[in-house]
Structure 1
């Protein structure tokens, strides 16, 4: 990954409280895993910034190197990498996701 790509990714993450690197856009996810995370965030009414990795090859490959995580989607909250769809789904089921959002000061029900 180039330094420029790493800088772009870091900038996106630092400028937004919640960022979802996903396949497609929230209104039209291009994979079931991305769609699942969008639905979870939607149920919690969490405002988030999305990045369509299918529209930018450098970002698609760069985010995997940035986090050392091989799959998309990838969720960040206040700069912290949370994980992919399975982790987000599990955290939502146990209440950990809601707790983490609250601890980090991300408003729920803000959509």
Structure 2
């Protein structure tokens, strides 16, 4: 496993919910990342936002890690969920909230 894959694996494994995104939760740098943050905030869960614009190795590596070509990317309890479109579909259907409850994800403080 490459160093970048190991770093990504460590990040995903050490946080219940991780969003690899452009920008930060307080200052998203694209509309898709902004929408993903809004969805997670509505779910009321604690999450870690990883700014891929600050680390080009992570930015490229996450695409190979998940075999998903776009950012943002959501992981819940180590499982890749998808990008902002999938998040929106799951949220609107109530599935994302159910997933967070089933996985016993920590609530935002």
TM class, shorter-chain normalised? over 0.9
Offset of 1:44 from its aligned partner?
1.5
Matched with 2:28 is 29
Superposed CA offset, 1:37-63 (max 9, x none):
100111111110010000000000000
TM-align CA RMSD: 1.0
The answer (yes or no) to whether the contact 2:66–2:80 under 8 Å persists in 1 is yes
TM-score between both structures, scaled by the size of structure 2: 0.97
Superposed CA offset, 1:40-94 (max 9, x none):
1111111100100000000000000000100000000000000000000000000
Residues 18-27 or 43-52, more deviating: 43-52
CA distance in 1, matches of 2:74, 2:41: 14
Offset of 1:25 from its aligned partner?
0.2
Matched with 1:73 is 72
Matched with 1:18 is 17
Offset of 1:107 from its aligned partner?
3.3
Structure 2 regions of 5+ residues with no counterpart?
none
CA distance in 2, matches of 1:44, 1:84: 16
The answer (yes or no) to whether the contact 2:16–2:106 under 8 Å persists in 1 is no
Task: Count how many residue pairs are aligned between Structure 1 and Structure 2.
Answer: 109
Matched with 1:56 is 55
Runs (4 or more) in structure 1 with deviation over 6 Å come to none
